[in-house]
Structure 1
Amino acid sequence: MSTTSVPTADRLVDEGLPLDEAAAACAVCPHPLAAHDPISLRFCRATAGRADDATPRGCVCPSS
């Protein structure tokens, strides 16, 4: 059984990515990636992967 690691916002900065990249806006919601916790990051990635005609799902970011 393998596990995968999802890069959360705190790890984006810790792994040495430029701050402007960690502060980049999410493609789905109006929040920067740094404001995403693991659940909201996964939610936004799943939402981005949905068909264009899908009903909007709202936002689950802790800052919303």
Structure 2
Amino acid sequence: MSSTLKPAPEMDIDPKVRNCLSCLRPFTREWAGERICPKCKHSSSWRMGSLPQWHVHSKK
């Protein structure tokens, strides 16, 4: 008998190093969409909702 349940989504559990969009320092992400490092997320400006100075770099 075949199952009618949807297959479980494939989780991206491969840890990757990303540069934080706030401080530009490399950090190991915990999930695919994480772009702000834990240090910046624990800052008072992040907790208060102040937007940090974002750095935008183009890849050449």
After TM superposition, the score normalised by the length of structure 1 is: 0.28
After TM superposition, the score normalised by the length of structure 2 is: 0.29
Q: Which has the higher contact order (CA 8 A, sep 6+)?
A: 1
More helix by share: 1
